Amino acid sequence: MSKNSRRIVGIVALVVINACALGFIYWKSGAGRANHVRVMTTFPKTEIDGTDRLGVVFDLPVARPEMVGKPAALNIAAIEPSHPGEWIWASADRLEYQLAEPLHAGMTYRIHLTDGFDRETGLMPVGETSFAFATRAGG
C-alpha cells in the first residue's frame, strides 16, 4: 500500500470515528426525540408543610390545550404514601397534585410518573421520574 493510500485510509477512519462520536452525543442528549420529555423541576422546594399542591414542570408542553385546568388521567402519576388529592394539568408543561388536606408532619412523600404517563400523553419520560418531598416533624 502506498503512502498516499494509507493517509487516505487514515483520514477516512478519523472522519467515520468522529461522525459516530457526534451521533452518539446527539443521541444521548435526547435532541431530536420529539416523543421524549424530561422533568425540569418540582415544587415546592421549601415550605412543604403549608403547601396545598405538589408539582412537576416538564421541559416541553405535555398537555393539549383542552386538558389545561382539568384533571389528569388517574394513572398518569402516583403519590406514596397515598394522600387525598387530585392530579390537574395546571398548564401545558405543569402537572400538579392538588392536596385535599394538608400533608402529615414527619412524612416523606414520593411522587412518580407511572406507565400511564406515556399512554396518556404519547411521550416517554427520560431521566428522573420519582421525586421526594419531606415535611417537618410535628411537635
Report pTM: 0.73
Nearest residue to 62 via CA among 115, 112, 117: 117
> Residues with Cβ < 8 Å from 40, sequence gap 6 or more?
57, 58, 59
Q: Which residues of the chain have pLDDT under 50?
A: none
- Residue reference for cell 412518580: 112
Counting runs of H as helices and runs of E as strands, what totals does the chain give? 2, 8
Q: What is the pLDDT of residue 46?
A: 83
Q: What integer pLDDT is reported at residue 11 of this predicted model?
A: 83
